[in-house]
Amino acid sequence: MNPNQIKAEGLDPAGFALPEGSRPAAKIFIVALLFAATLITPAATTLAQTDYRVLPRDFNADKTQQMMRAYQRGQAHDALDRRLTELESALESAEGIAAYQHRRREFLRWTLGELPQPAPLNARVTGTLTADGYSIEKLLFESQPGFHVTALVYRPDGEG
């Protein structure tokens, strides 16, 4: 059937009866719109139900927890303020800077714990690349026993 025969018989292309004087394009548009709505509605419902929160809904409901977080936040801010005051006073002289650096290094050593004793490197050259005016040595060594590290050493040609 061609489109003119469909119109003459009062049917639309989908086989539905058309009321007298109706336009098939409007009917097709409405059917397509309803079809699209049926496809979109489940997706929109799924998106609406997805909870993207990192913290639980009742995160601030417990007053005791609010008080604890406020206390800890205050402690952190106080510590940062003390550190800033100490740093600003250390910046007034070279001796102050050196003393501040020494205290920070000692604190870092204390927090990290005892460092391991130096181990033999067991270094070996695994390859060499030559270029114009320099060469590159590919190295493999152990920073600690069993922990391999790769390195590139750039060496200029001549006395360098």
Q: Are 14 and 31 in contact (CB under 8 A)?
A: yes
Q: Are 128 and 135 in contact (CB under 8 A)?
A: yes
pTM score, two decimals? 0.39
pLDDT number for residue 8: 56
| Mode of pairing for the β-strands spanning 124-131 and 147-156 | unpaired
Each residue's pLDDT expressed in tens, for the chain with a length of 160 residues: 555 555 555 555 555 555 555 566 777 888 888 877 777 776 666 666 777 888 887 877 888 888 999 999 999 999 999 999 999 999 999 999 999 999 999 999 999 998 888 899 999 999 999 999 999 999 999 999 999 999 999 999 988 6
E strand or H helix at 53: none
One domain for residues 108 and 128? no
Residue 137 in domain? yes
pLDDT number for residue 97: 96
Residue 117 in domain? no
pLDDT number for residue 54: 83
E strand or H helix at 45: helix 24-49
Return the SS3 of 15: coil
Which residues form the domain of 37? 3-49
Count of domains forming the chain: 3
One domain for residues 45 and 78? no
Cα separations in angstroms, 51 against 48, 61, 68:
8, 18, 26
Residue 57 in domain? no
Residue 68 in domain? yes
> For 32-41, how does the pLDDT look when each residue is reduced to its tens digit (9 = 90+)?
888 777 777 7
Number of residues that this document lists for the chain? 160
Residue 85 in domain? yes
> For 33-62, how does the pLDDT look when each residue is reduced to its tens digit (9 = 90+)?
887 777 777 666 666 677 788 888 787 788
One domain for residues 80 and 104? yes
